[in-house]
Amino acid sequence: MSIRVTYHGHACFTIEGGGAKLLIDPFLSGNPQADIGPEEVEADYILVSHAHGDHLGDTVAIARRTGATVISNHEIATYCAAQGLNSHGLHIGGGYQFPFGRVQLTIAHHGSSFPDGSYGGNPAGFLLTIEGRTIYFAGDTGLTYDMKLIGEKGIDLAILPIGDNYTMGPDDALRAVELLQPRLVVPFHYGTFPVIEQDPAAFATRVVAKTGIECRVLKPGESLTLA
Protein backbone atom coordinates (compact mmCIF):
# COMPACT_ATOMS: atom_id res chain seq x y z
CA MET A 1 0.00 0.00 0.00
CA SER A 2 1.14 3.55 -0.53
CA ILE A 3 -0.06 6.97 0.53
CA ARG A 4 -0.84 9.60 -2.07
CA VAL A 5 -0.55 13.30 -1.18
CA THR A 6 -2.00 15.93 -3.54
CA TYR A 7 -1.60 19.70 -3.17
CA HIS A 8 -4.54 21.97 -4.03
CA GLY A 9 -2.82 25.29 -3.29
CA HIS A 10 -2.37 27.39 -0.12
CA ALA A 11 -2.98 24.93 2.78
CA CYS A 12 -5.25 22.42 1.06
CA PHE A 13 -4.11 18.83 0.56
CA THR A 14 -5.76 15.52 -0.19
CA ILE A 15 -4.20 12.49 1.49
CA GLU A 16 -5.33 9.07 0.26
CA GLY A 17 -4.40 6.12 2.44
CA GLY A 18 -5.75 3.65 4.95
CA GLY A 19 -8.76 3.14 2.70
CA ALA A 20 -9.92 6.75 3.04
CA LYS A 21 -9.64 10.13 1.37
CA LEU A 22 -8.66 12.93 3.74
CA LEU A 23 -9.02 16.57 2.76
CA ILE A 24 -7.03 19.14 4.78
CA ASP A 25 -8.02 22.84 5.05
CA PRO A 26 -10.29 23.06 1.98
CA PHE A 27 -10.06 26.75 1.10
CA LEU A 28 -11.03 26.41 -2.58
CA SER A 29 -13.64 29.14 -3.33
CA GLY A 30 -11.72 32.39 -3.72
CA ASN A 31 -8.35 30.65 -3.65
CA PRO A 32 -6.47 31.80 -6.76
CA GLN A 33 -4.20 28.71 -6.54
CA ALA A 34 -6.91 26.05 -6.27
CA ASP A 35 -6.80 23.36 -8.98
CA ILE A 36 -10.18 21.92 -7.99
CA GLY A 37 -13.58 23.34 -7.00
CA PRO A 38 -15.54 22.71 -3.80
CA GLU A 39 -18.35 21.15 -5.83
CA GLU A 40 -16.14 18.38 -7.28
CA VAL A 41 -13.57 17.57 -4.58
CA GLU A 42 -14.16 14.25 -2.78
CA ALA A 43 -13.55 13.46 0.89
CA ASP A 44 -14.35 10.90 3.57
CA TYR A 45 -12.83 13.11 6.28
CA ILE A 46 -12.07 16.84 6.35
CA LEU A 47 -9.29 17.93 8.71
CA VAL A 48 -9.47 21.62 9.69
CA SER A 49 -6.38 23.08 11.39
CA HIS A 50 -8.05 26.31 12.56
CA ALA A 51 -11.06 28.53 11.91
CA HIS A 52 -9.48 31.21 9.71
CA GLY A 53 -11.26 31.58 6.39
CA ASP A 54 -8.24 30.42 4.36
CA HIS A 55 -8.42 27.04 6.20
CA LEU A 56 -12.05 26.43 7.21
CA GLY A 57 -12.84 27.55 3.66
CA ASP A 58 -15.51 25.39 2.01
CA THR A 59 -15.59 22.78 4.81
CA VAL A 60 -19.32 23.07 5.55
CA ALA A 61 -20.44 22.85 1.91
CA ILE A 62 -18.11 19.94 1.11
CA ALA A 63 -19.06 18.01 4.26
CA ARG A 64 -22.74 18.55 3.53
CA ARG A 65 -22.42 17.27 -0.05
CA THR A 66 -20.08 14.34 0.64
CA GLY A 67 -21.14 13.34 4.16
CA ALA A 68 -17.50 13.61 5.22
CA THR A 69 -16.66 13.71 8.93
CA VAL A 70 -14.95 16.93 10.04
CA ILE A 71 -11.96 16.36 12.35
CA SER A 72 -10.81 19.48 14.16
CA ASN A 73 -10.54 21.11 17.56
CA HIS A 74 -13.59 20.89 19.85
CA GLU A 75 -14.89 24.37 19.00
CA ILE A 76 -14.79 23.88 15.23
CA ALA A 77 -16.20 20.34 15.55
CA THR A 78 -19.07 21.70 17.66
CA TYR A 79 -19.71 24.48 15.12
CA CYS A 80 -19.92 21.85 12.36
CA ALA A 81 -22.15 19.52 14.41
CA ALA A 82 -24.55 22.43 15.05
CA GLN A 83 -24.97 22.64 11.28
CA GLY A 84 -25.91 18.98 11.07
CA LEU A 85 -22.52 17.72 9.91
CA ASN A 86 -20.63 14.67 11.17
CA SER A 87 -17.70 15.84 13.27
CA HIS A 88 -15.09 14.62 15.74
CA GLY A 89 -13.48 17.08 18.15
CA LEU A 90 -9.98 16.72 19.59
CA HIS A 91 -7.72 19.01 21.59
CA ILE A 92 -4.01 19.79 21.46
CA GLY A 93 -1.94 16.73 22.36
CA GLY A 94 -4.91 14.42 22.06
CA GLY A 95 -5.17 11.79 19.37
CA TYR A 96 -7.74 9.27 18.19
CA GLN A 97 -7.55 6.09 16.16
CA PHE A 98 -9.87 6.50 13.15
CA PRO A 99 -10.54 3.64 10.71
CA PHE A 100 -7.85 5.03 8.33
CA GLY A 101 -5.23 5.77 11.02
CA ARG A 102 -4.41 8.01 13.95
CA VAL A 103 -4.82 11.79 14.11
CA GLN A 104 -3.15 13.77 16.89
CA LEU A 105 -3.44 17.55 17.27
CA THR A 106 -0.14 19.40 17.71
CA ILE A 107 0.60 22.93 18.90
CA ALA A 108 0.47 25.74 16.35
CA HIS A 109 1.42 29.25 17.44
CA HIS A 110 -1.23 31.26 15.62
CA GLY A 111 -4.85 32.52 15.99
CA SER A 112 -8.12 30.71 15.26
CA SER A 113 -11.15 33.04 15.08
CA PHE A 114 -13.99 32.20 12.70
CA PRO A 115 -14.47 34.57 9.74
CA ASP A 116 -17.18 36.42 11.76
CA GLY A 117 -14.71 37.00 14.61
CA SER A 118 -16.16 34.42 17.01
CA TYR A 119 -13.91 32.12 19.03
CA GLY A 120 -12.54 29.15 17.10
CA GLY A 121 -10.54 27.40 19.83
CA ASN A 122 -6.82 26.78 19.58
CA PRO A 123 -5.10 26.49 16.21
CA ALA A 124 -3.42 23.15 15.56
CA GLY A 125 -1.25 21.05 13.36
CA PHE A 126 -1.84 17.35 12.63
CA LEU A 127 0.34 14.35 13.27
CA LEU A 128 -1.07 11.57 11.09
CA THR A 129 -0.11 7.91 11.29
CA ILE A 130 -1.48 6.03 8.30
CA GLU A 131 -0.36 2.59 7.13
CA GLY A 132 2.73 2.87 9.34
CA ARG A 133 3.77 6.21 7.80
CA THR A 134 3.90 9.45 9.79
CA ILE A 135 2.92 12.77 8.25
CA TYR A 136 3.27 16.05 10.14
CA PHE A 137 1.13 18.90 8.79
CA ALA A 138 2.33 21.86 10.86
CA GLY A 139 -0.66 24.12 10.17
CA ASP A 140 -0.24 27.89 10.40
CA THR A 141 2.50 28.28 12.98
CA GLY A 142 5.67 30.01 13.92
CA LEU A 143 8.78 28.02 14.72
CA THR A 144 8.44 26.09 17.98
CA TYR A 145 10.93 23.90 19.79
CA ASP A 146 8.12 21.34 20.22
CA MET A 147 8.99 20.35 16.66
CA LYS A 148 12.09 18.63 18.05
CA LEU A 149 9.84 16.43 20.24
CA ILE A 150 7.53 15.70 17.32
CA GLY A 151 10.51 14.75 15.16
CA GLU A 152 11.85 12.29 17.72
CA LYS A 153 9.04 9.91 16.77
CA GLY A 154 10.32 9.76 13.19
CA ILE A 155 8.55 11.74 10.47
CA ASP A 156 8.21 10.46 6.91
CA LEU A 157 6.78 13.70 5.52
CA ALA A 158 6.72 17.19 7.06
CA ILE A 159 4.39 19.74 5.43
CA LEU A 160 5.61 23.17 6.55
CA PRO A 161 4.45 26.76 5.95
CA ILE A 162 7.05 29.07 4.37
CA GLY A 163 5.01 32.17 3.49
CA ASP A 164 6.20 34.42 6.34
CA ASN A 165 3.97 37.28 7.59
CA TYR A 166 1.26 34.95 9.06
CA THR A 167 3.47 31.89 9.66
CA MET A 168 7.10 30.83 9.58
CA GLY A 169 9.07 32.19 6.67
CA PRO A 170 11.76 30.23 4.82
CA ASP A 171 14.51 30.92 7.41
CA ASP A 172 12.51 29.53 10.33
CA ALA A 173 11.03 26.73 8.21
CA LEU A 174 14.61 25.64 7.48
CA ARG A 175 15.26 25.59 11.25
CA ALA A 176 12.03 23.57 11.65
CA VAL A 177 13.41 20.99 9.21
CA GLU A 178 16.58 20.75 11.32
CA LEU A 179 14.48 20.14 14.47
CA LEU A 180 12.09 17.65 12.83
CA GLN A 181 14.61 15.67 10.74
CA PRO A 182 11.88 14.27 8.46
CA ARG A 183 12.57 12.06 5.44
CA LEU A 184 10.81 14.47 3.09
CA VAL A 185 9.62 18.10 3.23
CA VAL A 186 6.81 19.79 1.28
CA PRO A 187 6.29 23.57 1.67
CA PHE A 188 2.85 25.26 1.72
CA HIS A 189 1.10 28.56 2.60
CA TYR A 190 2.96 30.73 0.09
CA GLY A 191 2.20 32.64 -3.10
CA THR A 192 -1.56 32.93 -2.54
CA PHE A 193 -1.48 36.61 -1.60
CA PRO A 194 1.22 39.27 -2.22
CA VAL A 195 2.30 39.35 1.46
CA ILE A 196 3.18 35.62 1.42
CA GLU A 197 4.98 35.57 -1.95
CA GLN A 198 8.02 33.26 -1.70
CA ASP A 199 10.35 31.25 -3.92
CA PRO A 200 9.64 27.60 -2.97
CA ALA A 201 12.35 26.26 -5.30
CA ALA A 202 14.95 28.41 -3.52
CA PHE A 203 13.68 27.07 -0.19
CA ALA A 204 13.98 23.49 -1.45
CA THR A 205 17.56 24.13 -2.56
CA ARG A 206 18.43 25.52 0.88
CA VAL A 207 16.84 22.52 2.65
CA VAL A 208 18.89 20.04 0.64
CA ALA A 209 22.11 22.06 0.97
CA LYS A 210 21.79 22.58 4.75
CA THR A 211 20.26 19.27 5.86
CA GLY A 212 20.60 16.76 3.02
CA ILE A 213 16.85 16.15 3.38
CA GLU A 214 14.71 15.94 0.25
CA CYS A 215 12.25 18.80 -0.33
CA ARG A 216 9.53 18.49 -2.99
CA VAL A 217 7.69 21.56 -4.29
CA LEU A 218 4.20 20.54 -5.46
CA LYS A 219 2.28 22.64 -7.95
CA PRO A 220 -1.48 22.78 -7.32
CA GLY A 221 -2.91 19.54 -8.70
CA GLU A 222 0.40 17.70 -8.36
CA SER A 223 0.80 14.56 -6.19
CA LEU A 224 3.53 12.56 -4.55
CA THR A 225 3.49 8.99 -3.30
CA LEU A 226 4.92 7.88 0.03
CA ALA A 227 6.04 4.32 -0.63
Q: Which residues bind Mn ion (CB under 5 A)?
A: 54, 140
- Candidates 34-42, 88-96, 136-144, 149-157; binding stretch for Ni ion (CB under 5 A): 136-144
CA atoms within 13 A on the CB side of 132: 3
Rounded Cα gap, residues 215 and 159, in angstroms: 10
Q: Which does 44 bind (CB under 5 to 8 A by kind): Mn ion, Ni ion, none?
A: none
DSSP-derived pairing of the beta strands 157-161 and 184-188? parallel
Segment 90 to 119, residues that bind Ni ion, using CB under 5 A:
none
| Shortest separation between residue 17's beta carbon and Ni ion, angstroms | 26
Choose between 55 and 133: whose C-beta lies nearer to Ni ion: 55
| Shortest separation between residue 120's beta carbon and Ni ion, angstroms | 10
Assess 133 for contact with Ni ion (CB under 5 A).
no
Say how many residues touch Ni ion, by CB under 5 A: 2
Assess 10 for contact with Ni ion (CB under 5 A).
no
Choose between 72 and 129: whose C-beta lies nearer to Mn ion: 72
| Shortest separation between residue 52's beta carbon and Ni ion, angstroms | 4
| Shortest separation between residue 154's beta carbon and Mn ion, angstroms | 27
Rounded Cα gap, residues 5 and 2, in angstroms: 10
Assess 52 for contact with Ni ion (CB under 5 A).
yes
Rounded Cα gap, residues 27 and 52, in angstroms: 10
Rounded Cα gap, residues 15 and 186, in angstroms: 13
Rounded Cα gap, residues 11 and 137, in angstroms: 9
Quick check: 79 and 114 in contact, CB under 8 A?
yes
Choose between 98 and 188: whose C-beta lies nearer to Ni ion: 188
CA dihedral 115, 118, 123, 129 (to 10 degrees): -80
Choose between 10 and 52: whose C-beta lies nearer to Ni ion: 52
Choose between 8 and 52: whose C-beta lies nearer to Ni ion: 52
Quick check: 215 and 207 in contact, CB under 8 A?
yes
Assess 140 for contact with Ni ion (CB under 5 A).
yes
| Shortest separation between residue 168's beta carbon and Mn ion, angstroms | 12
Choose between 52 and 133: whose C-beta lies nearer to Ni ion: 52
Rounded Cα gap, residues 160 and 140, in angstroms: 8
| Shortest separation between residue 196's beta carbon and Mn ion, angstroms | 8
Angle at 200 between CA 219 and CA 212, to 5 degrees: 110
Helix (H, G, I), strand (E, B) or coil at 46: strand
Q: Which residues sit at the interface with Ni ion, rule CB under 5 A? A: 52, 140
